[in-house]
């Protein structure tokens, strides 16, 4: 899962949204609940202009990451502000 999620993040950083979506689908086959996958998928939906799909994924990511993940909470706050 981590390999596919990292590949998706690479594609997202280059704005290659279709390639990122393909990598996310491959990661989902292995483990649909992995934190790296949730993060990448939330970003994909955000970049596609679909905040209604991005927010629930980022919320799940924050719950799984726990209190120690300031970056995850910051990303969630960003999604709330940009919605």
Tens-digit pLDDT string for the chain (83 aa): 789 999 999 999 999 999 999 999 999 998 888 888 998 999 999 999 999 999 999 999 999 988 778 999 999 999 999 87
From CA 68, how far away is CA 6, in angstroms rounded? 21
Residue 40: its pLDDT value, please?
93
Evaluated on CA atoms 13, 17, 23, 26, the torsion sign reads: positive
CA-based nearest residue to 48, from 12, 6, 9: 12
Q: Distance from CA of residue 55 to its chain's centroid?
A: 10
CB atoms within 10 A of CB 37: 24
Stated pTM of the model: 0.88
């Amino acid at each position: 899962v981590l390999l596919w999620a990292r590949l998706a993040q690479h594609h997202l950083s280059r704005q290659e949204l279709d390639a990122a979506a393909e990598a996310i689908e491959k990661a989902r086959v292995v483990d649909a609940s992995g934190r790296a996958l949730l993060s990448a998928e939330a970003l994909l939906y955000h970049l596609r202009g679909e905040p209604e799909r991005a927010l629930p994924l980022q919320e799940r990511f924050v719950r799984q990451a726990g209190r120690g993940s300031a970056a995850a909470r910051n990303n969630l706050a960003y999604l709330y502000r940009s919605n």
